[in-house]
A = this chain, B = another copy of it.
């Protein structure tokens, strides 16, 4: 018997992938120069030169590719903790740090470690990365979400109070946010920390805060991304080098349990057990060595800011409303029609591919990934103008 739930997960393409495939077909029909694909979050800038140099130097040792311990090499784990200390003044512990095959693996195993019963719930904030639901359900629990203030996509604490319940074992935040680009400031984090501490007392159990922060290094306009373990003890940092080093296909990241967390050592071992259970033997060895050497390097992301500026300015001129993103490489734009799906379909007829927000848990918006070439953006502006005319916005 084939598992029907897995079959359904494998056969239902995500909206993003579906649009991406549509774009490839469309390009064959009308020419790729007439297709403006804003669907995929694949970094458009190269990895730092140091990454390439490190790889070339490390592979001179043909034994570099052996198994490492399940949690990763001590060299990489120490480098990660040293970097975070230098940058944020907070000491993570290498012995509570676990190298993973990217943030997706980190989230999947952390949730598996934190969910014990089918009643257990994971809370997040909409809009959110759709795979959170998949990982929470794989872990045997379920995902619930709290709506954000739609003008800023900051946390709406009144909504949060209505949504949270004593079954919540873990809360996921994603800042800078995919898809809204919102960065939670210090004030929000302090308020969230107080809120969760109160709830822990009320419910009589720990609520772990999982910070999914692959976009932490991509910030604009002087935005600052607070380091969450400084503000809330029961924090688990889930990081990925996908965006900072432009190496998303290499699957390298880490999970680090705050040394101040309740039962930190037990949770860490449960994360290791979950890694074993899901078939993660170790994170890719060569890229563990790369992280050790390049932990403080970042790809040049100025193009993401320039892209954002050009798009926000021009789309606003045409009458569209965008939440000006403070980080990451997405623009969350209000759909000028009630149905974002319908708007996305009309945009397609002008060669513009944008992702309707429904799968992110929010209605009435579309996501534009701005990790594209500046040239594509320039060429897409007349198409956006035609679209605005079609919708009688101008």
Contact = CB atoms under 8 A, between A and B. Distances in A.
A151 interface: no
Interface stretch (A220-228, A243-251, A308-316): A243-251
Nearest to A205: B1
Interface in A123-173: 131, 134-135, 137-138, 169
Is chain A's binding surface mostly helix, strand, loop or mixed?
helix
Given A6-B273, A277-B134, A55 B52 contact: no
A113 interface: yes
Interface string A65-84: 11110000000000000000
A137 B283 CA distance: 22
- Scoring A51, A60, A68, A105 by chain B CB atoms within 10 A of each residue's CB, the highest score goes to A105
Interface stretch (A284-292, A323-331, A336-344, A374-382): A284-292
Interface stretch (A8-16, A177-185, A346-354): A8-16
A279 B109 contact: yes
A47 to B, nearest CB: 5
Contacts of A52: 59-60, 62
Contacts of A60: 52
Please tell me how many copies of the chain the complex holds: 2
Interface stretch (A28-36, A186-194, A263-271, A384-392): A263-271
Interface residues of A, number: 83
Contact of A272 (B10, B42, B56): B10
A212 to B, nearest CB: 12
Contact of A278 (B67, B138, B263): B138
Contacts of A114: 1-3
A113 B4 CA distance: 8
Interface of A: 1-11, 40, 42-43, 46-47, 49, 51-52, 55-56, 59-60, 62-68, 101-102, 104-109, 112-117, 120, 131, 134-135, 137-138, 169, 205, 245-251, 263, 266-288
Given A6-B271, A9-B276, A56-B56, 5 more contacts: A10-B273, A40-B67, A56-B59, A251-B251, A284-B287
26 contacts: A1-B120, A2-B263, A2-B266, A3-B273, A9-B273, A10-B275, A40-B67, A47-B65, A52-B59, A52-B62, A56-B56, A62-B246, A63-B246, A64-B249, A65-B245, A65-B246, A66-B246, A66-B249, A101-B279, A101-B280, A108-B277, A138-B278, A250-B284, A251-B251, A251-B282, A278-B279
